[in-house]
Structure 1
Amino acid sequence: MTSREDQTILLENSRSVAFRDLPPIPKGADDGTFGTILLMYQYVEPSWSKKEHKKALKKIIELGQKLSITGRGRVAPEGVNFTLSGMPKDVRTFCTALREWNPLFNETDFKLTDWLPKDKLFKSLSIRKTEELVAYGLAGDDKAPSLKKFAGTHLEADEYHKAMTDKDTVIVDVRNAYESAIGSFRPPEGGAELIDPKMRNSIEFPKWLNDPATQEKLNGKKVLMYCTGGIRCERATALLNQMSAVNPNLKPKGVYHMRGGIDRYVKTFPDGGFWKGKNYLFDRRMEQIPVTKNPTEVEEEVDSKCCLCRQKWASYRGKFKCSQSLCGVPVIVCTSCDDRALREPERLTCELCKEGYRVPDVEPDLVSLKRKAECLMEGLTYDEAETDRNTSTIKWKTKEAKEALRKCHSDRLFLSRLPLTATKAKIEESLGVIAKVKLVHWLTDRNSGAFYGSCLIQLESTDDQAEVLKKAAETGITIDKKKVKISPVWVRKEDQWPPMDYVNRQYPPVGL
């Protein structure tokens, strides 16, 4: 234990257990009276195949059932995310078994909390098969920013604490607004600036990040991100770094996130540090507070209010939801207003709806963004290319840059919003004499195998690509009276083309 700036720091709690032995069971915690809760996630890159995905789901459910583990989790092609509970020994055995099954889990940061009252354990085990771990709308390798290439830099809790004192820094709370309402970091005076994206759910984050007003706040600053346990920051920092790779007006001085999230910070700083209020949790504990901090003091730090009577209140109980259209987020209702909330649920309104706030509707083209960023990473710098915001084409300043692009196979296009009646012949007809189509690869749903209105096409040359993009920008390209969206595709030279699942066909597949 050390002390810095009048803050107690438990350095032994500040480090990840990745590639290390799990912490031993505390003396007395294994007498059958208490349980343990586990927070963990692990991304997989490249993503698991359908077969590997199914195998992982089966294995994890089998392990959980064998060891009487309870809780909730997701298994997606991109990895796993769990909040689980059980007896201290069983939870540790579960973690060890994952490491033995797949060495990938040696790098997992298993976050264990012992001394959990047994009434706070989950009642059952629910592991869902999903397509994405966090609902950012980034499912699939064609959209998700590569963590290996673009993820932010991890800081340990004590390092993150120090970074918050830097005035040339902004802190982004990557959680939902209803979580932030009952607790957040409050940097010291003269330190970093806290930014709340005011999101109702994670799928709004790419829009918020793509907003020019947001990018102006982040440009030229050191950016720190944080969330409950760390998983949301993995993709969030990667998306910011990927955007900055192609946007000359978005150049942060560095992008960082805290290993282990708020959970590890409040364990490292038992008196709270710069954390004020409660850490919203998605388990039966409901919230987490610094262990040595007076609960009354914690309540006083929170500014949240009951959505009905407006008295100061800092607890979510009763599963009350905002009644406004297209919202439905949790709302705070005090004990005095419980009955009224049940009688008049239409009166329940969250703080964002009260102020009429909506995240700016500036959705990024995630597929094009990823391909541009990765192509530039292959050896091109942004100074060598300029993106035309109106046509989405690339104007190359040097012959060397253009030649480097040719090596990235820029003779391809991504077509979306196609009518279900589209065929290869109709695509060729829509392009007329300006370009010759060599190949059409129909894109299908991962589960059903059905065509959903998108495809990749390969043209005769990069010049053909430029001509098609020019026509799309000037007059638009239609198929069966429906305007088609067309985006350039930048592909790394080591990528396989055609894809392994390519089949030469005139018509898109209909699926199962």
Structure 2
Amino acid sequence: MQLYNTLSAREREVLIEASGEDRLTISFYQYAHIGNPQILRNHLFLKWDELDVLGRIYVAKEGINAQLSVPRIQFDAFKEHLDSITFLNGIRLNIAIEQDNKSFLKLKVKVRDKIVADGLNDSSFDVTKKGVHVSAEEFNKLIDDPDSVVVDMRNHYESEIGHFQKAVTPDVDTFRDSLDIIEDQLKEHKEDKKLVMYCTGGIRCEKASAYYKHKGFKQVYQLEGGIIEYTRQVRDQGLENKFIGKNFVFDERRAERISDEVIAQCHQCGAPCDTHVNCANDACHLLFIQCDDCKAKMDACCSEECKEVHALPYEEQKALRKGKVYSNKIFKKGRSEALKFKK
């Protein structure tokens, strides 16, 4: 019984190109009580591998968080399978605004302690007592309400390229960091202000809204389906779009353009730019914003040091990395002294 990938990303990419079939990029999440996540993980892998589903899926005792790509021709079969699972029956699917057949190149279904790394002690509050879900139209009204405080629950590198009008955008590296900052900033307004939150697809707000209600906030709202669903409703219903710039996404596309405004700048020269790249030096891989001119000048690297390493023959690069332990510190997104124009 095969429970793992047998093809490399490059081999899968070739197959996708040869098939000529369109694929749909989809995300969804659901909090639920799962007794044995490993059994569910294996079941999902076997069925979805059969349907040629690719993506990154986390399963935990608290539920499931999925970002994936499915052949358009297999969508009905995929949806039928979801509906056959009790806690996923009828679940809302966030279908990407901008499609890319290569958004994912492997199927990874992993068992985790949590479906979102939030650092919270869930036993201290009831995650089911969440805030009020609002539609795009209702969210627009809340943005215009002087008694509302709109908060971006994403990290700094996400909000840097796009966010809602009037939103508070905490300069944080993790979701957990933002929770304490927002509570401290609004501690005097737990009763008189409407706390209105949004994130990419809704999952971070789902946990945060319950957390803030537990912390004493009386009026807590969250954007149903996040920025992805908001954009779909705005376009389908002809509503005013109050999101500026791009929506960062966690797949090979890296972002979906929501409005024409470019609100970020190249981290190396300061020119208007909102294109995220990873440093070409495999020992760095830093995520940062780089314009085409700097990409050519810096050989797709974040610094002169990385450029020098990247210019070495592959075997020499590999030898330099040998024996070294690379922690998450080198993957700090958009944080480096070499990035002179990082806001």
Residue 148 of structure 1 is aligned with which of 103, 107, 128? 128
Q: Which runs of 5+ in 2 are unaligned?
A: 1-18, 308-331
Q: Where does residue 241 of structure 2 map in the other structure? A: 273
Q: Is the 8 A contact 2:288 2:302 kept in 1?
A: no
Partner of 1:303: 263
1:64 maps to 2:36: no
Partner of 2:167: helix, strand, or coil? strand
Q: Give runs of aligned pairs for residues 497-512 of structure 1, distance below 5 A.
A: none
Q: Judge conservation of contact 1:229–1:262 (CA < 8 Å) in 2.
A: yes
Residues 1:133 and 2:107 aligned together: no
Indicate how the Cα distance of structure 1 residues 219 and 302 shifts in structure 2: closer, same or farther if over 3 A, else same: farther
Relative distance call for 1:280 and 1:113 in structure 2 (3 A) is closer
The one of 136, 140, 161 aligned to 1:182: 161
- Secondary structure of the residue aligned to 1:164 is helix
Structure with more relative contact order (C-alpha pairs < 8 Å, separation 6 or more)? 2
- Which residue in the other structure is 1:256 paired with? 221
* Structure 1 counterpart of 2:198: 226
What do residues 68-108 of structure 1 show as CA deviations (whole Å, max 9, x unaligned)? 100111111111111111211323322321221x2211252
Distance of aligned partners of 1:168 and 1:129 in 2 relative to their CA distance in 1, 3 Å threshold: same
Alpha-carbon shift at residue 229 of structure 1 (Å): 0.5
Q: Using the alignment, how far apart are the partners of 1:115 and 1:220 within structure 2?
A: 39
Q: For residues 114 and 33 of structure 1, what CA distance do their matches in structure 2 show?
A: 18
The corresponding residue for 1:199 is 172
Amino acid at match of 1:137: G
Other-structure match for 2:253 = 285
Gap change, CA 1:99 and 1:132, over 3 Å in 2: same
Can you give the 5+ residue segments of structure 1 that lack an aligned partner in the other structure? 1-30, 187-192, 245-250, 358-512
Q: For 1:8-47, what per-residue CA distance to the aligned partner results, in whole angstroms no more than 9, with x for missing partners?
A: xxxxxxxxxxxxxxxxxxxxxxx95421111110111xx3
Q: Does 1:105 align with 2:88?
A: yes
Deviations 1:341-367 (A, max 9, x none): 355257999479789x9xxxxxxxxxx
Q: 1:78 to 1:226 in 2, by over 3 A?
A: same
Do the aligned partners of 2:27 and 2:68 also contact (CA within 8 Å) in 1? yes
CA pair 131-37 structure 1, distance change in 2 beyond 3 A:
same
Question: What is the deviation of 1:142?
Answer: 2.2
**For residue 276 of structure 2, what is the amino acid of its counterpart?**
Y
Aligned partner letter, 2:89: N
2:172 and 2:188 map into 1 onto residues whose CA distance is 18
For the Cα contact (< 8 Å) 1:171–1:195, is it kept in 2? yes
The alignment yields a C-alpha RMSD, in angstroms, of 3.1
- Structure ID, larger Rg: 1
Deviation at 1:330, TM superposition (A): 2.7
Mapping of residues 463-502 of structure 1, within 5 Å:
none
Whole-Å Cα distance in 1 between the matches of residues 98 and 162 of structure 2? Answer: 23
Aligned partner of 2:314 in structure 1 is none
Identity rate of aligned residues, in percent?
A: 28
Provide, for residues 183-208 of structure 1, a one-character-per-residue CA deviation record: whole Å limited to 9, x for no partner: 1111xxxxxx4211221111313332
User: Post-superposition shift, 1:284?
Assistant: 2.2
Residues matched between the structures, number: 291
Q: CA deviation at 1:320?
A: 7.2
In the alignment, which residue of structure 1 is the partner of 2:288? Answer: 331
Q: What is the correspondence of 1:379-394 to structure 2 with a 5 Å cutoff?
A: none
Q: 1:115 to 1:258 in 2, by over 3 A?
A: closer
Q: In the superposition, relative to structure 1, how do residues 195 and 329 fare at CA in structure 2: closer, same or farther (>3 Å)?
A: farther
TM-score (normalizing by structure 1)? 0.52
Q: Could you state the TM-score of these two structures normalised by the residue count of structure 2?
A: 0.75
**Preserved contact between residue 277 and residue 302 of structure 1 (Cα < 8 Å):** yes
Amino acid corresponding to residue 103 of structure 1 in structure 2: T
DSSP-derived class of the 1:240 partner: helix
